[in-house]
Structure 1
């Protein structure tokens, strides 16, 4: 299974943006003492690590089937996607909330706020470019479906994970700017800590949503109902077939589907012809839908 170029483009664009942003944020946090800026730095580091893990997962999942994994390694991408969700929750959200609580209990005045605003503006430009690529590519892939429905139907985690991460990052930048501004206007640096907690809660929400989607993919989600209906119609129209009793599909990778069929044949069809027809059907289905990688057809009389 080979990942499409646009999926890798999204990851590389996000990685490049987050690495540059992380460096700028940590430098600004060191100079100004801003808790929200430090939190945003941790957020960018976690995002960079996540992109590396997803690229690693794509590479691992592209390996061909072997003796130990006869259906291939496609689901390994789902595993690393789940790890990414855990990292966002434990590291990104956890550190953000912890840093916010510390800054509220022991507030430290913000120094050189202009540096913070410059870094936030630069981060917004870089993050916005990455977010724009993610929105464009996912928007092109979602077709006529709504955004949330498309995310629920998607079997390619990197596309919607980067979209979620970049959206959370854009939100975090505005919250960090608001926290710094309120601290300066009110003279109370605890607003900076409050901003860190809000950013942490947003990351926790994103992590939980991604964990749920990745969990469902790991357990096993069926193929698109339209594909199942088309497969059923293709098999049923053969003259030797009286009907398809059962059809089971499961995604074992973003573009890797297992298909199981229970087919009722005409009683007078010889066994040898049934075997030939099964082979012909498998060939036809693979030619029409290359994403169907493994097929199991079982003769079964109608109950």
Structure 2
């Protein structure tokens, strides 16, 4: 298993452990207090647990070996499961919370034992912070100093992106729920609790839309991260066998990478020498980037020149 895959798996297990405990506590508190915002948060945490299971399934399936029907393997199956997570976050987490909030807004009920609800929310913040810390720790290992939003837009690790997005949404949702319950208690108006549930739902839906947009790009087919693509081109152009790179295509395939090169080669003594030169360039690429499982090299000449 690659280090990137190990980092993603660690982050997913951090999130699964934290969200499992949070979901149980929130459901108990929601039943005890009758808080709509708390119930919305409980559904959100249950949705997150399901999401993490989906991501683990995706990582496991992506390791299946290539076969005649899938000659390039199953690496991109992680993108499918990441999209499933985004849809689940939108509908089960976000839409359900909004519907639940609207129901409580139309038929407001006072919160019983608000101290219990606030205590559970506080504990949830601690556990969710632990989960986010684990995800950010793994992100920092691969982000190479990039700001988080830049990494989020450029990363090709859908599973780690989803975990980080979920954790951030969860912490913001907890803050909204805490404020909503507090206002409901201070003002004696349970409508604040309903508005909190709606706010949590809308927040989850917004985050789900951002995740869906990024995963859609991965499913459609994205190049390697910009700095990797640029480094590959610089590496090829620096090779003594290559005169000029005419075209370079990189395609991220889950954890793996496909490279297709069209280049003008320096003159060689024979056809065999040209083949050896191409093989040397391909071997150097795969030595530098072990994730580059496929490398296709096309020697060519510039149009209008000998």
Aligned to 1:61: 62
Q: Work out whether 1:274 is the aligned partner of 2:277.
A: no
- CA pair 188-278 structure 1, distance change in 2 beyond 3 A: same
User: Equivalent residue for 1:302?
Assistant: 302
Structure 1: gaps (5+ residues): none
Runs of 5+ consecutive residues of structure 2 not aligned to the other structure = none
CA distance in 1, matches of 2:32, 2:128: 22
Quick check: 37-46 or 112-121, which moved more? 112-121
Residue pairs, 1:66-105, within 5 angstroms: 66-105=67-106
Question: Structure 1 residue 240: deviation in Å?
Answer: 4.4
Residues 274 and 187 (structure 1), Cα distance of their counterparts in 2 relative to 1, 3 Å cut: same
CA–CA distance in 2 between the matches of 1:78 and 1:161? 10
State the shift of 1:270 in Å.
2.4
Partner of 1:17: 18
**Separation in structure 1 between the aligned mates of residue 139 and residue 112 of structure 2, nearest angstrom:** 40
Which moved further from structure 2: 150-159 or 198-207?
A: 150-159
Q: Partner of 1:4: helix, strand, or coil?
A: helix
> Is 1:265 the equivalent of 2:274?
no
Structure 1 length as normaliser, TM-score?
A: 0.94
Q: Aligned Cα RMSD in Å?
A: 1.7
Distance 2:205 2:227 in 1: 34
Deviations 1:47-105 (A, max 9, x none): 00000000110111122222111111111001111111111111100100000000000
Partner of 1:173: 174
Alignment-derived partner of residue 214 in structure 1: 215
11-20 or 58-67, which deviates more: 58-67
- How many pairs are equivalent? 302
User: Per-residue displacement from partner, 1:249-277 (whole Å, max 9, x unpaired)?
Assistant: 01011x31100011223456422222222
* 1:196 aligned partner: 197
Write the mapping of 1:89-238 to structure 2, written as runs, cut at 5 A.
89-238=90-239
* Cα gap change, 1:231 to 1:169, in 2 (>3 Å): closer
Secondary structure in structure 1 of the residue aligned to 2:98: helix
Q: 1:70 to 1:188 in 2, by over 3 A?
A: same
- Whether the 8 Å CA contact 2:252–2:258 is kept in 1: the answer is yes
The residue number in structure 2 matching 1:34 is 35
* 1:228 shift after superposition: 3.3
Whether the aligned pair in 2 keeps the contact of 1:240 and 1:269 (CA below 8 Å) is: no
TM-score by length of 2: 0.93
Shift of 1:227: 3.3
Query: Equivalents in 2 of 1:133, 1:227: separation in Å?
Result: 25
Q: CA deviation at 1:238?
A: 4.4
Distance (whole Å) between structure 2 residues aligned to residue 240 and residue 140 of structure 1: 34
Query: Counterpart of 2:75 in 1: which secondary structure?
Result: coil
- For 1:226 and 1:5, the matched residues in 2 are separated by 22
Tell me, in whole angstroms, the C-alpha distance in 2 between the residues paired with 1:180 and 1:225. 45
